[in-house]
Amino acid sequence: MSTMSPVRRLLHVSRPEWPRLGLAAFLGALAIGCAVALLATSAWLISEASLRPPILTLEVAFVAVRAFGLGRGVFRYSERIVGHDAAFRSLTRLRVLVYERLAQLGPSGVPAFRRGDLLTRLVADVDASQDLPLRVVIPALSALLIGLGSAALAYWLLPAAGIILAIALLIAGVVVPWLTTIAGRRAEQRSAMTRGRLSSEVVEVLVGSGDLLAFGTADAAIDRARETDRELTKLSATSAAASGVASALSVLAIGTAVVTSLLVAIPAVLDGRLPGTALAVIALLPLAASEAVVSMPSAALNLASVRTSAQRVSEVLDAPDVVHAPAVPTPLPTGERSLQLRDVRARWALDGPWTIEGITLDLPPGHRVAIVGPSGAGKSTLASVLLHFLDHEGSATIDGVDLADVSDDDLRSVVSALTQDSHVFDTSVAENLLLAKRDATEDELLAVISAVHLDAWFADLPSGLRTPLGAHGTGMSGGEQQRLALARVLLADRQVVVLDEPTEHLDTATADALTADLLALTQGRTTVFITHRLVGLAEVDEIVVLEAGRIVERGRHTDLVTAGGPYSRALALDLQAGDS
Amino acid sequence: MKPLDPRLLRYARSTRAFLVVAVVVGALTAVLVVLQAYALADIVTGTFQHGLDVDALRPTLIALATIVVARAALAFLSDWAAQRSSARAKSQLREGLLAHAVQLGPVRLAQHRTGELATLATRGIDALDAYYARYLPQLVLAVIVPLVVGLTILGLDLLSAVIIAVTLPLIPVFMVLIGMYTSSRVDRQWRTLGLLSGHFLDVVAGLPTLAVFGRAKSQAQSLRKVGEEYRKATMQVLRISFLSSLALELLATLSVALIAVSIGIRLVNGGMDLRVALIVLILAPEAYLPLRMVGAQFHAAAEGLGAAGRVFDVLDEPLPVVGTRTDVPPMLGARFRFEGVSVAYDDDRAPALERASFVIEPGRVTALIGPSGAGKSTVLSVLLGFIAPNEGCVQIESAEGEAGILNTYDPQVWREQVSWVPQSPYLAAGTLADAVRAGMPATDDEVAEALREAGLPIDDAALPFGLATPIGDAGAGLSAGQRRRVALARALLRPAPLVLLDEPSAALDLETEARVVAAVERLRANGCTVVVVAHRPALVAIADVVVELPTVVVEGAVLS
């Protein structure tokens, strides 16, 4: 499946919707067909009428003309309804597919989870895929059907005219869009560098205006941007010409078809091969049929942009697994939980460098370990290993069973975690908490809210537990979000808790208050507390100092302070800054 | 959306020239459409009714071919002019935006979410291409073509002209009516739709959280369910909103059908000539075509105008009045006296700084402390001239006893004597040396020395290319700590008597902060006046004066 081109893959995902897409394309063809038929029938009708036959002989044509007049709007409307319906259905399919893949990859398997903007782009890319059925497939299929139909009609009247029309439609509907796309891509390539430079110069002035003003370099920066902008405008001249040529070519193709059709049709009428009443039909058919191909250049451009989106979506679908579920899970024995790591190493890519190496750690039940070290030392990698979001080498066991052999459900029923940016879902307070424990009672919810010191915040909520949170709900500060996440952890009530930099994005005062509460509330659980701040660690059972993926120092706070190693040096800086 | 935003004409002047081109092209197109109908009708009737052959019809056929070529030329001209004008308009908008942004200053600009604005100003307004290339010319055509075609038909056949005159104006009326009806329905559904459409992003963004609690896989079912609900809800809205285009298509094609039938009947009755009938039949759809195209291009155009609208919002913001005096007194040894200074960023928010009165003594280190939102950074913005006090003033008293009100001077001139280390410095793409120089003419040795003082020695392994180390936008490639050290070096390189330091509220790394402390002490030793916004006690400890905001002044160090 991965050998398929990204666009074909998108089409493949929407396969169950193909009948609907086909119907929409057929309705679209009927809509344009009505317009073509309206003009063709009218042309024949008035030619015939000018011969003044009994009016009854034209009755069918009169009815047909009116029907075609009605049909166009009705068919167009149905096409859009059926097409959008099919597009939404395919979108849901793709979303589910992408989500299932993301869930399988886990939080560590996709770089997007480490960068918010990438995540938003991925979601936008998935959403952009609905342009494929709506703005590419349906118009292209309709154009094909109606192009063939019109050419066939012309061919039936006069074979030469049919061939002429087919060639003209091919030029306007295939060649011109193809040229437009190529010219667009060329222009894009040529101006990509300049565009990139302009973009960073604009960002510099808008985002860095303070720095520029303070150092008196604002005018120079604006001049630079203006210069680049000029260059870009100059570069766009070629693509403007190309785009003009494409438009002209399409007008020329249809116009030439009209003139040449007349050139072949006039002698045919004179020597009786073509009835005179069909001459107007032959002359007007290219004009009417051109409507079928008019949307093809924009369909081609849409295809190009869908291709880019599809490419990025495919990258997620094809991302290599960073964690493997056990084929036959080993059940966990009951009892208190202890974790043991023996010479564990892990990495993010199959052939990449080891991010952590030689990690040995003992966590008997109720033991509390703090993992400290500068950013990039491998702390979060270790958290991913403990949560089995990332495969490891060496032995990492829980109650004697290797993490790699435990089923996901079993592991989650024992280990929970609090991460850097806990997500607040776009739903009620209650639902946000209940995901940690489906059957929690209201009293339990209120109890954990109170335990994490969110009482004051909660008291201000307009509708208590039913108050909506998240993007469409009440805003929360970073500290409140992390407290809500801690409430989830408490509600889930697991024996092992991993706290992965829970105070990362908080200001000092908020961070210190949260740290104190975190350590107090998780008392009695086996706890791994990952942090780069060395505050309030005096009471943990062991402090492990990581540097460049390896343990460089370990021990209790008091021992490490006297040892004079990296911990005490970092702590000294901390104290010098008056942090504790 | 207004069909033609007057602000576009004001801020993107090339639009005016383009409108002229569009009108000329539109008028010529309309004339050619009429001529083409005449030529076609002449040729068809010539052969059909009078048995003329190609030779006899040669002049008309050549005329038709010429019309085709002319229409192609106009298509080229229209498209080419649209692309050129669009490129120029975008460039004019960007230029205007940048110039205006700098004059507004970073504080006012911050109200506009600058990161987003930058994207809009580059990629976002690219959507204007569609507006210029397809929407605007069609809009012009929609005015001119029906008029020219309608008048031609009027001259040929009154009944057909009446049908067009009655139905054509109905199209916009129906569209507006249906649009009004739909928008109230859509508005009612909007929240639901918003919730449902955001659901996918919400679930994907929350996947790590769901995974921790073992709920990730079970969400696929809910995605499917919400997707279905979203589809149903949206389809309900679309069923109504597509009605407007149904009305348009129905009116447009049905009237052509009516015209065809009516001329057909009159032909049979001998009340009409075939040539006239053909001309009317060919012209009738042309009257409706531009209007249909305008409708089709509406959405693409709205996107571009929407992006441009955000740019206009910034351009519409009035510029602050700034001082013009250029005789700024020397700041070395100067005292700054804040007298009841209040600053409000906008009218409906609480002032960022309220009646602050304190003195910044020359040659000493003043630490600004206080809870977040107390106005510490605002004090620095006032000293940098990024924002002027709404009330009160800042007096500057030079060592020679010269005194003046800070805001009567041209900020660009007085800033020459000020150096600044912002909380999150912006470093332009270029080399490390460029970033430190920031336009200052300084030798490589001086730059290296400043970097060393800031704790970023260039022989460091982290800087493989020394001063030539390339850095990206916003200092990409450097860690937050390194960026801050570069900003410190940049400030140290500048021989400014007033140095302002804004400490980041989120602790970066401790060694960098230690460097800052050392640098501040050196600056004081050199006689500089230093103002620091301090969040950590380390910087407060070395201060000579601590100003707590809202204003409480403590002489001497508090935490010694």
- CB pair distance less than 8 Å for A426 and B245: no
Provide the domain count of chain A: 2
* A308 and A409 within one domain: no
Distance from CA of B336 to the nearest CA of A (A): 18
Residue A143 near residue A173 (C-beta atoms within 8 A): yes
Domain containing A39 equals 6-317
* A347 and A308 within one domain: no
Task: Look at residue B450 and tell me whether its pLDDT is greater than 50.
Answer: yes
Give mean pLDDT, residues B19-36.
94
- The tokens for A565 are 């190693």
d(CA A106, CA A96): 15
The Cβ of residue B73 has, within 10 Å, a number of other Cβ atoms equal to: 17
Q: Which residue of B has its CA nearest to A215?
A: B438
pLDDT at A580: 33
At residue A82, what are phi and psi to the nearest 5 degrees?
-65, -40
d(CA B403, CA A116): 51
Looking only at the bridges linking them, the beta strands covering A339-346 and A356-363 are antiparallel
Task: Give the end of a domain, one of A285, A317, A349.
Answer: A317
> Does residue A470 or residue B161 have the better pLDDT?
B161
Nearest to A382 by CA among A543, A493, A502, A528: A528
Looking only at the bridges linking them, the beta strands covering A526-531 and A542-547 are unpaired
* A304 and A250 within one domain: yes
Taking the domains of chain B in order of start, what are their residue ranges? 6-157+272-316, 335-555
Hey, is A175 helix, strand or coil? Answer: helix
Residues in chain A where the model's pLDDT stays below 50? 1-2, 576-580
Q: Which residue of A has its CA nearest to B507?
A: A508
Condensed to tens digits (0 to 9), the pLDDT of residues B469-528 reads: 887 766 666 777 778 888 989 998 988 999 999 876 555 566 677 778 888 898 999 899
The Cβ of residue A74 has, within 10 Å, a number of other Cβ atoms equal to: 16
User: What does each C-alpha distance from B547 to A25, B420, B543 come to in angstroms?
Assistant: 72, 19, 10
pLDDT at B109: 84
* A347 and A245 within one domain: no
Q: Which residues of B451-461 are buried (b: 16+ CB within 10 A; e: fewer)?
A: bebbbbebeee
Side-chain half-sphere exposure of B9, counting CA atoms within 13 A: 10
Condensed to tens digits (0 to 9), the pLDDT of residues B227-239 reads: 898 899 889 888 8
Residue B351 near residue B344 (C-beta atoms within 8 A): yes
**Closest CB to B72 among A229, A252, A416:** A252
| pLDDT classification of B408: cutoffs 50, 70, 90 | very high
* A211 and A253 within one domain: yes
* A370 and A297 within one domain: no
Tell the CATH superfamily of the B335-555 domain.
Answer: P-loop containing nucleotide triphosphate hydrolases (3.40.50.300)
* A177 and A62 within one domain: yes
> Does residue B197 or residue B450 have the better pLDDT?
B450
What is the length of chain A?
A: 580
Say if A248 is an interface residue toward chain B (CB within 8 Å): yes
* A343 and A313 within one domain: no
Say if A60 is an interface residue toward chain B (CB within 8 Å): no
User: What does each C-alpha distance from A324 to A359, A378, A448, A539, B274 come to in angstroms?
Assistant: 21, 21, 34, 36, 79
* A390 and A259 within one domain: no
Residue B27 near residue B273 (C-beta atoms within 8 A): no
**Do the domain assignments include residue A475?**
no
Residue B274 near residue A50 (C-beta atoms within 8 A): yes
Report DSSP letters for B140-209, one per residue.
HHHHHHHHHHHHHHHHH-HHHHHHHHHHHHHHHHHHHHHHHHHHHHHHHHHHHHHHHHHHHHHHHHTHHH
**Do the domain assignments include residue A452?**
no
What is the length of chain B?
A: 560
Averaged pLDDT of chain B: 85
**Closest CB to B203 among A99, A199, A256:** A99
pLDDT at B508: 54
**Closest CB to A100 among B47, B220, B254:** B220
Which of A357-371, B50-64, B317-331 shows the lowest per-residue confidence on average (mean pLDDT)? B317-331
- The tokens for A32 are 């344009």
Contacts of A259 in chain B (CB under 8 A): 61, 64-65, 68
Rounded to 5, what percent of chain B is helix, strand, coil?
65, 10, 25
pTM given for the model: 0.82
- CB pair distance less than 8 Å for B101 and A213: no
**Do the domain assignments include residue A487?**
no
CATH number (domain holding residue A500): 3.40.50.300
* A261 and A146 within one domain: yes
CATH number (domain holding residue A58): 1.20.1560.10
pLDDT at B154: 96
Distance from CA of B104 to the nearest CA of A (A): 9
At residue A399, what are phi and psi to the nearest 5 degrees?
50, 40
- What's the per-residue H, E or C state across A250-282? HHHHHHHHHHHHHHHHHHHHHCCCCCHHHHHHH
Contacts of A248 in chain B (CB under 8 A): 72-73, 75-76, 79
Q: What percent of chain B has pLDDT over 70?
A: 90
Residue B447 near residue B436 (C-beta atoms within 8 A): yes
- CB pair distance less than 8 Å for B245 and A76: yes
Q: Which of A46, A78, A420, A428 to mutate to test the interface with B (most CBs of B within 10 A)?
A: A46
d(CA A511, CA A513): 6
- CB pair distance less than 8 Å for A248 and B263: no
* A356 and A292 within one domain: no
Q: What percent of chain B has pLDDT over 90?
A: 34
- The tokens for A119 are 């995540």
CATH architecture of the region B6-157+272-316: Up-down Bundle (1.20)
Residue B413 near residue B331 (C-beta atoms within 8 A): no
Nearest to B358 by CA among B346, B373, B375, B345: B375
Distance from CA of B494 to the nearest CA of A (A): 9
ipTM: 0.85
* A145 and A55 within one domain: yes
